[in-house]
Amino acid sequence: MRNWQLQEAKAQLSLVVKEAMRDGPQRISLRGEPAVIVLSIKEYDKLTQPKLSFIKFIRQSPLMGIKLRLKRHSSLTRDIDL
């Protein structure tokens, strides 16, 4: 992420925007302190889109509908090596 001073960013706004679109977020500082971030719309959309619930995630799996036949050991206890 490139850091810009506000005066530099104002003078070269089109470059700040192009770099945000090509290279990712651009940080702009005001009086030496980070103040704002310039993001491409693509990056902004990624951050603001609703998160997928776990149930929806599972339902969208390409494995949905496949019948798995798993055999489980029927004893109540199992020997393990520690």
Residue 39, pLDDT score: 97
Q: What CATH code is carried by the domain that includes residue 15? A: 3.40.1620.10
Nearest alpha-carbon partner for 20 in 8, 45, 37: 37
Arithmetic mean of pLDDT over the chain: 91
CA gap 13, 39 in Å, rounded: 13
Of residues 20 and 66, more confidence is placed in 20
Per-residue model confidence as pLDDT tens digits over 26-64 = 999 999 999 999 999 999 999 999 888 898 888 888 887
What's the CA angle centered on 49, arms 23 and 45, to 5 degrees? 30
Based on the structure, what is the number of domains in the chain? 1
In a domain, 72, yes or no: no
Q: Which amino acid is at 6?
A: L
The rounded Cα 20 to chain-centroid distance in angstroms is 16
The residue-averaged pLDDT of 6-31 equals 98
Please, what sign has the CA dihedral across residues 37, 43, 44, 46?
Answer: negative
